């Protein structure tokens, strides 16, 4: 009986997420406009230099403050998402120009969610177009839902409750 309730809850959450994604997709209908020279490669290298390489510019506490998670968790999520959806893997275009880094796409999605930031504000950070940012957000949300729904979006079990109470006591 409890499993049926969990399945109903998951289906309801999944259908709600699909409706939200559809609406966001309608808002972000691509229009042909002039392309800007965004220097995305430089911005990607800067992002790596600031947070992700061994001798990075900012300390670990700055990463935690900016991304609202530890770097190990970010890396775990990024790896799972890249394995789930090939959209996030860096590719070469027909002119042999490398596309956006997975960290750029995931960072924009996380910043939009964490800071409730609009696409144009994140554009200045990641040098991505509005439609690319919204596509990254939609795919990121879908991937998170697909990967983590069974484990995290469910009713807590008695074992989960005991663990949470123990953590609270500590």
Complete DSSP assignment for 29-53: -----PPP---HHHHHHHHIIIIIS
User: How do residues 64-98 score in pLDDT, each as one tens digit?
Assistant: 888 788 888 889 999 999 999 999 998 887 878 78
Q: Which two tokens stand for residue 2?
A: 């409890």
Q: Which two tokens stand for residue 131?
A: 């439609």
Query: How many Å apart are CA 110 and CA 135, to the nearest integer?
Result: 13
**Contact call for residues 128 and 136 (beta carbons, < 8 A):** yes
Cα dihedral 52, 116, 69, 124, rounded to 10, equals: 10
Beta bridge partners of 98: 92
Query: How many Å apart are CA 116 and CA 110, to the nearest integer?
Result: 9
Mean pLDDT of successive 10-residue segments in the chain (170 residues)?
59 64 63 60 71 77 82 90 92 82 88 83 76 90 90 81 86
Query: How many Å apart are CA 42 and CA 94, to the nearest integer?
Result: 20
Q: What is the pTM of this model?
A: 0.65
| Those residues with Cβ within 8 angstroms of residue 106's Cβ, 6 or more apart along the chain or in another chain | 74, 77, 78, 81, 88, 136, 140
């Amino acid at each position: 009986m409890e499993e049926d309730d969990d399945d109903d809850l998951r289906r309801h959450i999944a259908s709600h997420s699909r409706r939200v994604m559809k609406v966001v997709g309608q808002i972000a209908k691509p229009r042909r406009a002039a392309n800007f020279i965004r220097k995305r490669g430089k911005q990607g290298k800067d992002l790596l230099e600031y947070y992700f390489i061994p001798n990075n510019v900012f300390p670990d506490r700055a990463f935690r403050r900016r991304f609202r998670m530890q770097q190990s968790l970010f890396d775990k999520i990024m790896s799972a998402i890249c394995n789930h959806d090939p959209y996030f893997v860096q590719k070469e275009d027909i002119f042999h120009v490398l596309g956006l880094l997975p960290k750029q796409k995931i960072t924009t999605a996380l910043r939009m969610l964490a800071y409730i930031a609009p696409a144009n504000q994140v554009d200045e950070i990641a040098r991505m177009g509005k439609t690319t940012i919204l596509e990254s957000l939609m795919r990121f949300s879908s991937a998170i839902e697909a990967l983590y729904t069974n484990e995290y979006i469910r009713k807590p079990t008695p074992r989960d409750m005991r663990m949470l109470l123990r953590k609270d006591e500590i």
